[in-house]
């Protein structure tokens, strides 16, 4: 693996390797010194053309815990000629010889393009409506920890599937790990022909009880003005996941940030069934694992925490 | 001490302990390598819902000088349902298992709420009109260095006391350290019943000569539109601290940033009586001390600078 | 050298010393661990009153690769009394006892003023239309690597010379290194009397073939509304550097960011003659060299990479 551009290109074995690596970082995270020297003296660039707190802070802290130097660029998209300006920006940042560039961009395919312009490893942190592979990996990680395996599990992805790169990446990842996926939402928010990806489609929550896992998507305000749904209130009446609709053996997930009272009720968010906080914690260790696999995976042994006697030879940095 | 939410809950001994620790960090700051390894591999989150250069840069540099990894989140407050969104943001950041969360928020009581939602130590960096305890501690530190002790000293706090969390925290802190406090300003800017806190009230600068220390508050432009004062010009005519009103043995303080020519004249700011630069320098070492006391106070020995032979065993990080 | 405020004050020997140091950092940049401990435990402040991605990220990464702690302040200029607020901001930041302050400010002379207010070394990262010395140094470095020496080389600086601090600093630096400089652009964009600086002036690209190096300047949109040029399209028709106007033995430079299709054609940017990516890479090592020369030049030996056995005595940080 040179880049992480999409879940679509990953085999089950490659996914499992990243999850196993993430487990080892979770162990590091329980130590007093939550840091490893793996990427010391190497540079990680984060380049975000869309706002983000969760994904960017998670990648940035992951890079720091691997001891990398971080260059963080938040770029507001310019209105013209985005492709070109992205190319020049990538050329500029590549001149620093970074080990990795983590990119979020509103255009589907942007990460793929960047990978053609730089010698750095490229990590897609979300490209338009296309993919968000690190989100899918952290979600699979979260479920594997809870369920042992996803094989034969039934997962419902509920909400605005049409506009969601998370839905797309997770649908692929969940299926590759052996789960059966149903996507659910009003017809205006389900892409036509999505059954061809091997999932089922439902336009109501009636059969939600069949699900082992309910994965709710973020409903965005701007969808209303575009007439995809009559109002958020009506959407919530029909598709909100609340504790009446959930049964106690079901697990609840959401990629965040949640619109409380829209796609999820406050009670559901705070219920013991909710894995939302675990997903965020998983985000950190899975992103450490992604950086590790891409940048140090083949060349180095398993990570060693700084708070243990270091096996590095004298004269090398610990 | 688990959190630092308010000066109100601190005893004189607890305040003195923080100031003593800050002294030891001031000593580190005079060395060539101004850094200690105390928080290596631990994470400090700064979460600022109001803009700030001084307080945020001070906490961030304090965390770096203690070798912590920093996650810095600047959040513009959303217009609705702030309580809930704050809760979710804190849940997200807590998933990284930070050692401390430093929070500034426009709502009084926000830091207290956050402390109920996270396992991290919470430091209040300003909550609405309520408290700003690290400011009070750095001000007491600055005065203690100059005066030896605050016992019996007379301190005038001048300006917009009504809207100032600094006034509130400092009034409490100065009194706890033995000083006698007078608050001074136009009646519209002094909270009713403030005498019950044990201070005196004055509505003119006539008796300013009695003060050992004059602590001027920042006057905010928006107060005018709310008709608290007729104009900044009139306010300045009556309450501006200038070198005519100050006498040479008085000390001058201000929490910054100063409106030159409003609450202070330029000459007063730049006079040798002004402690403003010392306050900022104190901010750094006092915030290092706060982080140290909360995160390492009981478990570890006094800080050791990295430029001295380290007492840590071989194989551990220095 | 205490500060780097302008190219104007530097001798050829001083320039050469910085370039030689930059060469040694380029060598560090080819190692696995691209980091040296020179500024460990010291603080570098970047204070940018104008937006910048390239210059700020370059200085910030340079500081990190020297192991400094970084305080990064992005300040939007306030509309009134800028001089005063700058003074107070510098006083605040100086209270942290930084080793260096890197300042960009829209007022010519701002860096010089800052140098009068702080004990830190001051680096001018661009002050109004005055100077941008680190840009000139990185450009000279880039050319010296390609050409061996600038002596007798003919360099054309093309475009909006009037508003460009880069033009001014580079004109001085190129001449000091022995090159012959021609400035070229429409009469409205060439300052009157610039010949007194020893350069030639041209108002057309006819004789561009004489140049060994073509240095194109960024054309700014706002110039049009000010009627310096009738339109960017007309400007491009007359002054755009494209592959028809360039001959294959000429080198092409630009300080970035480029307006593709205005001052340069896309083809020219991506041609093998273009040194633009090399300029950015040079920016990093030259800024490391500037920080090193100002902060550690006289007191310390040549930099040692962390991935080599360290010559520092036991007990000192590596």
The Cα of C62 is separated from the nearest Cα of chain A by a number of Å equal to 10
Please tell me the class of the B12-131+282-295 domain. Answer: alpha beta
> CATH for A134-275?
3.40.50.1370
Q: Give the orientation angle of helix A12-29 with respect to helix A276-295, to 10 degrees.
A: 110
Q: What is the pLDDT of residues C240-263, one digit of tens each?
A: 999 999 999 999 999 988 888 899
Does residue A116 register a pLDDT over 80?
yes
Tell me if chain B has a CB within 8 Å of the CB of A283: yes
Q: At B246, phi and psi to the nearest 5?
A: -80, 145
More confident residue, C291 or A303: C291
Q: How far is residue B131's CA from residue B128's CA, in Å, rounded to a whole number?
A: 7
Question: Per the CB < 8 Å rule, is C71 touching B61?
Answer: yes
Size of the B and C interface in Cβ pairs below 8 Å: 77
Cβ within 8 Å of B, C 143-202: none
Which of B41, B91, B314 is opposite residue A34, by nearest beta carbon?
A: B41
The lowest-confidence range among A198-207, A213-222, B246-255 is: A213-222
More confident residue, B119 or B228: B119
Size of the A and B interface in Cβ pairs below 8 Å: 78
Which of C34, C54, C58 is opposite residue A41, by nearest beta carbon?
A: C34
Mean pLDDT computed over A35-58: 92
Question: Per the CB < 8 Å rule, is A96 touching C278?
Answer: no
Contact C216, C279 (CB under 8 A): no
CA neighbor of B136 nearest in space, from B273, B255, B288: B255
**CB contacts, 8 Å: B73 with chain A:** 53, 57
The interface pTM score, or ipTM, of the predicted complex is 0.87
Nearest CA in chain A to C317: A317
CATH topology of domain A12-132+279-295: Rossmann fold (3.40.50)
Percent of chain B, pLDDT > 90?
A: 77
Which residues share a beta bridge with B253? B215
Does residue A104 register a pLDDT over 70?
yes
Contact A269, A243 (CB under 8 A): no
Q: How far is residue A274's CA from residue A277's CA, in Å, rounded to a whole number?
A: 8
List for chain C the helix, strand, coil content (%; round to 5). 40, 15, 45
What pTM does this model have?
0.89
Nearest CA in chain A to C53: A73
pLDDT at residue number B313: 33
Q: At C182, phi and psi to the nearest 5?
A: -115, 130
Taking the domains of chain B in order of start, what are their residue ranges? Answer: 12-131+282-295, 134-278
pLDDT at residue number A19: 98
Question: Per the CB < 8 Å rule, is C88 touching B260?
Answer: yes
The lowest-confidence range among A140-154, A195-209, B259-273, C219-233 is: C219-233
Which of B81, B89, B95 is opposite residue A260, by nearest beta carbon?
A: B81
Q: What is the pLDDT of residues B60-107, one digit of tens each?
A: 999 999 999 999 988 754 333 334 578 888 998 999 999 999 999 989
Does residue C227 register a pLDDT over 80?
no
Neighbours of chain A (3+ CB pairs under 8 A): B, C
Q: How far is residue A70's CA from residue C60's CA, in Å, rounded to a whole number?
A: 9
Mean pLDDT computed over C152-181: 97
Percent of chain B, pLDDT > 70?
A: 89
pLDDT at residue number A15: 98
Mean pLDDT computed over B251-257: 95
Which of C54, C260, C281 is opposite residue A81, by nearest beta carbon?
A: C260
CA neighbor of B258 nearest in space, from C111, C97, C92, C96: C92
Tell me if chain A has a CB within 8 Å of the CB of B42: yes
Cβ within 8 Å of A, C 57-96: 57-58, 60-61, 64-65
pLDDT at residue number B306: 46
pLDDT at residue number C303: 45
Nearest CA in chain B to C118: B277
The lowest-confidence range among A286-295, B82-91, B136-145, C284-293 is: B82-91
Q: How far is residue C274's CA from residue C216's CA, in Å, rounded to a whole number?
A: 11
pLDDT at residue number C79: 32
pLDDT at residue number A86: 87
The Cα of C162 is separated from the nearest Cα of chain A by a number of Å equal to 25
Tell me if chain C has a CB within 8 Å of the CB of A302: no
Does residue A145 register a pLDDT over 50?
yes
- Confidence band of A53 (pLDDT split at 50, 70, 90): confident
Which of C40, C96, C317 is opposite residue B61, by nearest beta carbon?
A: C96
Which of C64, C260, C277 is opposite residue A95, by nearest beta carbon?
A: C277
Mean pLDDT computed over A170-194: 97
Q: How far is residue A312's CA from residue A37's CA, in Å, rounded to a whole number?
A: 10
CA neighbor of C250 nearest in space, from C271, C222, C224: C271
Question: Per the CB < 8 Å rule, is A95 touching C32?
Answer: no
Sheet arrangement for strand A100-105: A69-74, A43-48, A100-105, A121-127
Q: What is the mean pLDDT of chain B?
A: 89
Q: How far is residue A124's CA from residue A80's CA, in Å, rounded to a whole number?
A: 22
The Cα of C16 is separated from the nearest Cα of chain A by a number of Å equal to 23
- Six token digits for residue B240: 């501006």
pLDDT at residue number B225: 65
Cβ within 8 Å of residue B254, ≥6 positions away: B215, B216, B217, B218, B263, B264, B269, B274, B276, B279
Question: Per the CB < 8 Å rule, is C308 touching A317?
Answer: no
Nearest CA in chain A to B70: A61
**CB contacts, 8 Å: C98 with chain B:** none
Question: Per the CB < 8 Å rule, is A41 touching C284?
Answer: no
Q: How far is residue A290's CA from residue A296's CA, in Å, rounded to a whole number?
A: 10
pLDDT at residue number B93: 92
CA neighbor of A318 nearest in space, from C31, C318, C36, B33: C318
Cβ within 8 Å of A, B 2-41: 40-41
Question: Per the CB < 8 Å rule, is B277 touching C40?
Answer: no
Ranges A89-93, A279-283, C90-94, C231-235, most confident? A279-283
The Cα of B117 is separated from the nearest Cα of chain A by a number of Å equal to 12
Which of B258, B281, B307 is opposite residue C41, by nearest beta carbon?
A: B307
Domain with residues B134-278, CATH architecture:
3-Layer(aba) Sandwich (3.40)
Q: Which residue has the tokens 């009103």?
A: B245
* Burial degree of C30 (CB within 10 A; 0-12, 13-18, 19+): exposed
- Confidence band of A298 (pLDDT split at 50, 70, 90): low
Cβ within 8 Å of A, C 240-279: 256-258, 260, 266, 269, 276-279
- Which string of DSSP letters, residue by residue, matches A133-177? HHHHHHHHHHHHHHHS--TT-EEEEES--TT-HHHHHHHHHHHHT
Which of C31, C61, C277 is opposite residue A43, by nearest beta carbon?
A: C61
The Cα of C315 is separated from the nearest Cα of chain B by a number of Å equal to 4
Question: Per the CB < 8 Å rule, is A88 touching C35?
Answer: no
Which of B69, B81, B85 is opposite residue A65, by nearest beta carbon?
A: B69
The Cα of A313 is separated from the nearest Cα of chain C by a number of Å equal to 10
Q: Which residue has the tokens 């971080």?
A: A70
């Amino acid at each position: 693996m040179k880049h992480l551009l999409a879940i679509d290109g990953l085999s089950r074995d490659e996914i499992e390797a990243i999850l196993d690596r993430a487990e080892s970082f979770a162990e590091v995270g329980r130590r007093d010194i939550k840091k490893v020297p793996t990427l010391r003296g190497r540079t990680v660039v984060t380049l975000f053309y869309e706002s983000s707190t969760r994904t960017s802070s998670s990648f940035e802290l992951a890079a720091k815990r691997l001891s990398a130097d971080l260059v963080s660029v938040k770029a507001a998209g310019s209105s013209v000629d985005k492709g070109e300006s992205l190319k020049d920006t990538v050329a500029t940042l590549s001149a620093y010889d970074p080990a990795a560039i983590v990119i979020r961009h509103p255009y589907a395919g942007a990460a793929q393009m960047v990978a053609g312009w730089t010698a750095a490893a490229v990590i897609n942190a979300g490209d338009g409506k296309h993919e968000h592979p690190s989100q899918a990996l952290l979600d699979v990680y979260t479920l594997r920890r809870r369920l042992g395996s996803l094989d034969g599990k039934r997962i419902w992805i509920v909400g605005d599937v049409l506009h969601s790169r998370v839905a797309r990446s997770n649908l692929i990842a969940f299926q590759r790990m052996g789960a059966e996926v149903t996507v659910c939402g009003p017809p205006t928010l389900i892409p036509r022909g999505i059954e061809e990806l091997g999932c089922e489609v439902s336009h109501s929550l009636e059969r939600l009880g069949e699900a082992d896992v309910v994965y709710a998507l973020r409903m965005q305000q701007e969808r209303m003005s575009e007439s995809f749904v009559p109002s958020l209130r009506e959407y919530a009446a029909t598709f909100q996941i609340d504790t009446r609709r959930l049964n106690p053996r079901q697990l609840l997930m959401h990629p965040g940030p949640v619109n409380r009272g829209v796609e999820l009720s406050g009670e559901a968010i705070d219920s013991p069934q909710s894995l939302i906080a675990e997903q965020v914690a998983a985000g950190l260790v899975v992103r450490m694992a992604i950086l590790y696999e891409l940048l140090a995976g083949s060349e180095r042994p398993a990570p060693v925490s700084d708070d243990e006697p270091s096996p590095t030879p004298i004269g090398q940095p610990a």
